[in-house]
Structure 1
Amino acid sequence: MTAPLNLAPFCLAAVVLIPLLASALSVLLGSRARRVLGVVTSVAVLGLSAPILVHVSSGRMLQLALGGFDPPLGITLRADGLSAVFLAMTTVIGTVLSCYAAARPAATGTHRAALPGVTDPDGTAAAPGPASAATDRGWRPGHAGFWPLWLGCWAGLNAVFLSGDLFNTYVGLELVGLTAVALVALGGREAWPAALRYLFIAVLGSLLFLIGVALIYSVTGTLDIIASGQSIAELAAEDDADLAAVVLAMCLISLGLALKIALVPLHRWLIPAHSAAPSAVSPLLSALVIKAALFVLLRSWLWVAGPLPELTALAWVLAGMGTAAVLLGSVMALRQSRLKPLIAYSTVAQVGYWFLLLPLLLDPSSSALEAQTTLDDGAVLAGALSGTVALALGHGVAKSSLFLCAGHLKDRYGTDEIAQLRGAGRAHPMLVMSMGLSAVGLIGLPLSLGFSGKWLLATSAVAAGDYWILLVLVAGTLFSAAYLLKAVAPLLVMSEDDQTALALPQARTAQHVAEASTTGKAQLAPFVLGLLTVLTGFLGVWLSDILEVGAPW
């Protein structure tokens, strides 16, 4: 009797190749066919990711050597607990955002419209009237390049999460970075300077990472992530002088990834890029793209370098930058008068939390607390990682909902000025409800994944004697409550004598009119994500368990 066919290894390759092939195919299709292909691809990736998650949740790692060739000749895809949870987050958010983009093509960017009566590149005819006749080639909502770029970015994200070696991780990061830059540029002329700055940052970050990978290879003789970590551990045991090259490599890798994550003071590119991007793109950038760099950072520090004492100074520098990010990003968010920049600065603040665990990785225990805690070193490391990952996952779901809401309001009313959106909640209660649910997660209130993450990180900090992390978490929580209240409260309040009435833009294109019937359906996407922000709070224990699969301790 033959054994049942295990589809999980096949799914490892499929979740990378299917969106990549769909990206290439979408270039040849018309506008409506692209949207259909995008939704079908997202559903396919959702279905293919499920067996991977189930297999890893059972406590077993998953590995596939493409073509049957093992490293260093072949490419290995590997899924452990960390890979599975980031893959699951990307799949769920990517599926919801794909459905939103398919329902609202105008949210995918702007393009130069053809002369009246002439067919545009996306296959639609330019509607006659003031919107298209005002200039020779005016700007019209919707862009044909969104689906090829987004599906290519999705393939790159999955490749990063599943790559078993450092070089293919770099290739995935490059694909993610370049497609993300192009997605920002879909915002039109105003977004081009932000996209150009983002391009310089993405290339510089990738170059620094690649140099660091080359140094790791020169010392260890392998690019395999697990084998590299074992080689470095052997060097540390022998007190080999080559550890200086490893320290230099980790400095370069961390700097390159900090640029991509937008860690203070390397954050100046993020605000204009996330603010100027189209409504369907900003959530992708904040929720998913920067998470790829975070994933690689965790891989590098935990699986490749390991707890090297020589990295202590670097860990404290990055943790200090993270603390500054929480405080500075929050203060700058409070000073914003527009919704999208406020949410973008919120991302800068939330990023800071992800770097607070680095000192705990190198000094997970404190002799002063040995009599006061039952946590061993491995439990402290596990708690710090689980807390950080929970904060990142909760941020991804909540921030995608917030950016969708802000983008929808901006598209609807032609502005994201908070003062001019006063009272918009009366006309869009579902959007405001979504923003409120997302705020619960970002603040870290109970029943959210953000609360679980802060609790786990705080517990590990107390066990290790790093009480300063508690102060940062408390300060960040209070600040986030303040700037999110500033964003949401005006949408709910309108005095009876307020004569300012919200109105749609006077100049409306035919595409805007056609989308009026889909507006209510499109609001379901941010609501679903906002609801998931709260519901995922019950996954704290499961998250800690699955991260133990393939853990380096």
Structure 2
Amino acid sequence: MSAAEFSLGGLVLLPLLASAAAVLLGGRARGVVGLLTALLICGLCAPVLAQAVAGSVTVLPLGGYEAPLGIRLRADGLSVLFLCLAAAVGTVVSLHAAIMPASTGQRLVSSAGKAHAEQADAGRADSPAVWQSSHPGFWPLWLGCWSGLNAVFVSGDLFNTYVGLELVGLTAVALVALGGRDSWMPALRYLFVAVLGSLLFLVGVGLILAATGTLDMEQAAQQLAETPESHAAAVFALCLMSVGLGLKVALMPMHRWLIPAHAGAPGAVSPLLSALVIKAALFVILRLWLWVMPWGVDPSPAVTALAWMLGGMGALAVILGSVMALRQDRLKPLVAYSTVAQVGYWFLFLPLLLDPEADALEGQPGTTLAEDSVLSGALSGSVALALGHGVAKAGLFLAAGLLKELWGTDEIDSLRGAGRKHPLLIMAMGLCAVGLIGLPVSLGFTGKWHLATSAVAAEHWWIVAVLVLGTLLSAGYLLRAIAPLLLQDAEDPQVEHDAGPQPHEAAAAAESPRRHRLAEVPPFLLGLLTVLTGFLGVGLDALIGVGAPW
């Protein structure tokens, strides 16, 4: 067994074992286990990434049994990109959670300690309980979620992809609920949406199994290409699975659950939900549309209509999501609506996929796709936008959550002047905004450039219009979020003024000023990554092509 194959299994099992161990450990030990696990996962990603850069796909048949009897783990170029995204963001957010345990949630505890316990034993129930920061369930749930994410990214068959999605969804719902009483209803709504999406996806998996006799993605793609009579079942399955995954990724108008869930989650949870959890559903959508479905034949009208519907919903999300973000007066809901808008960009390439004028895929499996084809550029652009969004949005949510913890509010007007006391934090927000707007030297710019040039080549001018309008609107709502933090109160600009509820901040700073200053480092690291990853756009096309069906 090679190092890459060993790492492939470790990426799924290690965080799962660490999650189980964290349940049995005390508070500080949980944080130590979480950080060690994050560092080990980064180390395990290295040999898999090296093999992908060398042009090879890492395949691990569990137990030595090949598909369809056995289960295969498979890491191609697309898998490696999302694994690295999860490793980078997960490690930085884990560092933030270890520095700021208060950002991991709230729990009800006795206000009288041992005396309260004695009163309870005596039958007295009049002792109050109070909400306390730092939740012991964060680390087991987050590490379990990380295991599910890695399982989705390396799964070679549809059923284990479903299992990974379920693990991600259930742990994400529980993580949202750690935010306290106000987050329980958003978590319950999120649970209903996650279960409905999973059911639709599972029905689609059953239809593909019935049509092909296998759950392995490569074998299913080959069977669908060789048996045209099974295309009707595959098309129906694609429709069901796309709707189910659209619910999970919060594609407008299926986005209503996302705003309260992401905005109400604890400070260390919101970045994980926006940067990583919804990416699992996006990853599976890419797998289905490009790796499983047989585009060697003319697509049916139903598939064409579905692609245009999803592309239209994406355009709607970019524009309306940005407008709703502009209307927010609180920081975390603004960032959450920004996620809705950014999700829309990821679906704009689907109409290009089925456009016969776009030199789309020819023949499946083993399709031939020219290196300079329109589809290749559109896919690279969509993936670059998703990766850039993951890094930048994690940093922005971390900064917003930390401001809320320090100042006791996330109302933008109440945070006026916060930049004077937290310059590193505001700089981090500015760097993240560079990536979300899509300015040069960011993956956001690379993604929009590839998508725009592909749209121009295919004469899909509406995509260019959506990109331009979305960029202007994103600049507007991010300026609305950051600019007040750099300004003094307009009523008395000459007076040294600290905006926001100063007593709350003073009490928090007095508790541990060094810890709060240190907590500004993780958002700043993500801001730097937002800019530095922009230089990786050059080799993105080649890496996505490793193990691709073209």
TM-score (normalizing by structure 2): 0.92
- Indicate yes or no: 2:268 matched with 1:271: no
What amino acid does structure 2 have at the position aligned with 1:200? F
> Hey, what does 2:169 align to over in structure 1?
177
1:362 to 349, 354, 365: 354
What amino acid does structure 1 have at the position aligned with 2:393? K
How many angstroms apart in 2 are the aligned matches of 1:327 and 1:281?
A: 26
8 Å contact from structure 1 (residues 64, 78) kept in 2:
yes
> Hey, what does 1:128 align to over in structure 2?
none
How many angstroms apart in 2 are the aligned matches of 1:109 and 1:27?
A: 16
2:236 to 238, 248, 269: 248
> Hey, what does 2:85 align to over in structure 1?
89
How many angstroms apart in 2 are the aligned matches of 1:115 and 1:341?
A: 32
Shift of 1:505: 6.4
How many angstroms apart in 1 are the aligned matches of 2:114 and 2:421?
A: 36
- Indicate yes or no: 2:518 matched with 1:521: yes
Q: Could you report, residue by residue, the CA deviation over 1:264-309 in whole angstroms, capped at 9, with x for unpaired residues?
A: 1000000000000000000000000000000000000000114351
> Hey, what does 1:131 align to over in structure 2?
none
> Hey, what does 1:391 align to over in structure 2?
385
Shift of 1:528: 0.4
- Indicate yes or no: 2:409 matched with 1:419: no
Q: Could you report, residue by residue, the CA deviation over 1:495-525 in whole angstroms, capped at 9, with x for unpaired residues?
A: 4715663355647999985443211111110
8 Å contact from structure 1 (residues 328, 349) kept in 2:
yes
Relative to structure 1, the CA distance from residue 468 to residue 495 in structure 2 (aligned partners, 3 Å threshold; closer, same or farther) is same
User: Runs of 5+ in structure 1 lacking a partner?
Assistant: 122-133, 368-374
Q: How many residue pairs end up in the alignment?
A: 526
> Hey, what does 1:149 align to over in structure 2?
141
- Indicate yes or no: 2:1 matched with 1:13: no
- Indicate yes or no: 2:489 matched with 1:501: no
> Hey, what does 2:35 align to over in structure 1?
39
Shift of 1:379: 2.0
How many angstroms apart in 1 are the aligned matches of 2:548 and 2:356?
A: 15
8 Å contact from structure 2 (residues 149, 280) kept in 1:
yes
What amino acid does structure 2 have at the position aligned with 1:194? P
Q: Could you report, residue by residue, the CA deviation over 1:352-378 in whole angstroms, capped at 9, with x for unpaired residues?
A: 0000111111125359xxxxxxx9586
8 Å contact from structure 2 (residues 105, 134) kept in 1:
yes
Root-mean-square deviation (CA), in Å?
Answer: 2.1
Alignment of 1:42-441 (within 5 A): 42-118=38-114, 136-236=128-228, 240=229, 242-307=230-295, 309-310=299-300, 311-363=303-355, 365-366=357-358, 376=370, 379-441=373-435
How many angstroms apart in 1 are the aligned matches of 2:341 and 2:220?
A: 33
What amino acid does structure 1 have at the position aligned with 2:138? F
- Indicate yes or no: 2:538 matched with 1:541: yes
Shift of 1:235: 2.7
Relative to structure 1, the CA distance from residue 220 to residue 28 in structure 2 (aligned partners, 3 Å threshold; closer, same or farther) is same
8 Å contact from structure 2 (residues 407, 504) kept in 1:
no
8 Å contact from structure 2 (residues 378, 450) kept in 1:
yes
How many angstroms apart in 2 are the aligned matches of 1:113 and 1:533?
A: 39
Identity %: 63
Shift of 1:434: 0.5
What amino acid does structure 2 have at the position aligned with 1:309? P
- Indicate yes or no: 2:523 matched with 1:531: no
Shift of 1:466: 1.1
What amino acid does structure 2 have at the position aligned with 1:533? T
8 Å contact from structure 1 (residues 146, 186) kept in 2:
yes
Shift of 1:118: 4.0
Shift of 1:116: 2.9
Relative to structure 1, the CA distance from residue 302 to residue 206 in structure 2 (aligned partners, 3 Å threshold; closer, same or farther) is same
How many angstroms apart in 2 are the aligned matches of 1:446 and 1:255?
A: 34
2:132 is paired with a residue whose SS is: strand
2:456 is paired with a residue whose SS is: helix
How many angstroms apart in 1 are the aligned matches of 2:49 and 2:116?
A: 42
Relative to structure 1, the CA distance from residue 544 to residue 390 in structure 2 (aligned partners, 3 Å threshold; closer, same or farther) is same
User: Runs of 5+ in structure 2 lacking a partner?
Assistant: 118-125, 360-368
Q: Could you report, residue by residue, the CA deviation over 1:69-102 in whole angstroms, capped at 9, with x for unpaired residues?
A: 1122221100000000000000010011111101
